Amino acid sequence: MARATLCGVAHPLLRLSAEVAAALASGRPVVALESTLITHGLPAPRNLEAAQRAEAAVRAGGATPATIAVHGGRILVGLTATDSETLAAAPEPWKVSRHNLAAALGRPGWSGTTVSATMIAAHLAGIEVFATGGIGGVHRGGQDSMDISSDLDELARTPVAVVCAGPKSILDVPRTLEALETRGVPVVGWGTTELAGFFSPTSGLPVAITVDDAPAAADLWRRHRSLGLGSGMVFAVPIPAADGIPHDEIEGAIATAELGASAAGIHSAAATPWILARVAELTDGRSVAANLALIENNARVAASLAVALVAVGLPRA
């Protein structure tokens, strides 16, 4: 693996795969991918399937995938197939965000990178585009519990274009949008004037900024970067209609799952995986299939953005 460079200086904690290093050195498009979908996001074997489908979609779109994880005191940017399989089978991997990234680099074993940690690594490596399933945000009841994802602050401070299917459905989405606006993070509808609803193509919430295609998205991102604002940007892409679940139906399943979690005394970090597992049961596995489909679709769209950014060729901020 090659070392990544920041301002021309090799960063000792970053290791780029030969494929990713070559792509970046030659100015070819690269898309970053997170690894918590492997370590914490989906049950086996769907976790590895999701990662493989995302990487395949990026390649099919003409870009190089760079799945990011932490292992052996280094941030790995670009995993081999063997790396991904090993990560999927790793015992008790850490879930890494900004607050514990340095600590993860000082421990043995594997760690999966969340949206925030993946953004940090991508920016260090010089990768502008990152594809994920959905971003974190303000959890339901977060105004009292203060359960708010670090993704929001990362988007405010790290200039990476994040392609997703909107905030995760289990969140308080209106409050999440308010928090992003307060932090100066643009939320852009990709081919829609309505915010993508993660499992559903729709959410019932409008977005003020929209783009119709990858060239328009690339122009918008370049203008944003040229202003030196320092923040990232959320491109919210609706799940394909054939793969989605109607908004009212998925909201009902989430509400039922949340009541069950509360009755069982499940709170904080343990609540999210419990609720998602219960939603999968209530939808007869359709939520898992939808999750896989939206991850793949986001990777495809992110590749188109990365390719368009190379074509635009404007100076980076």
Q: What distances in angstroms separate CA 182 from CA 110, 138, 186, 194, one per listed residue?
A: 35, 13, 10, 19
Q: Give phi and psi for 33, each to the nearest 5.
A: -135, 140
Q: What is the pLDDT of residues 153-165, one digit of tens each?
A: 999 999 999 999 9
What the chain holds in terms of domains, given with CATH numbers, is 1-127 (3.40.1790.10), 133-317 (3.40.1790.10)
Catalytic residue check, 168: yes
Are residues 7 and 125 in contact, defined by beta-carbon separation less than 8 angstroms? no
- How far apart CA 215 and CA 221 sit, in angstroms, is 10
What does each of the 317 residues of the chain score in pLDDT, given as a tens digit?
A: 555 554 444 688 999 999 999 999 999 999 999 999 999 988 889 999 999 999 999 999 999 999 999 999 999 999 999 999 999 999 999 999 999 999 999 999 999 999 999 999 999 999 999 999 999 878 766 676 667 778 999 999 999 999 999 999 889 899 999 999 999 999 999 999 999 999 999 999 999 999 999 999 999 999 999 999 999 999 999 999 999 999 999 999 999 999 998 899 887 767 778 888 999 999 999 999 999 999 999 999 999 999 999 987 754 44
What's the N-to-C CA distance of the chain in angstroms?
27
Say which of 55, 128, 154, 168 is annotated catalytic.
168
State pTM to two decimals: 0.93
Say which of 34, 55, 128, 154 is annotated catalytic.
34
∠ CA 120-123-129, rounded to 5°:
105
β partners of residue 150: none
Catalytic residue check, 34: yes
Given this model, what pLDDT does residue 2 score? 56
Given this model, what pLDDT does residue 142 score? 60
Q: What distances in angstroms separate CA 19 from CA 30, 64, 160, one per listed residue?
A: 10, 8, 21
- How far apart CA 204 and CA 208 sit, in angstroms, is 13
**DSSP E strand stretches across 116-229:** 129-131, 161-164, 187-190, 209-211
Q: What is the pLDDT of residues 259-297, one digit of tens each?
A: 998 899 887 767 778 888 999 999 999 999 999 999 999
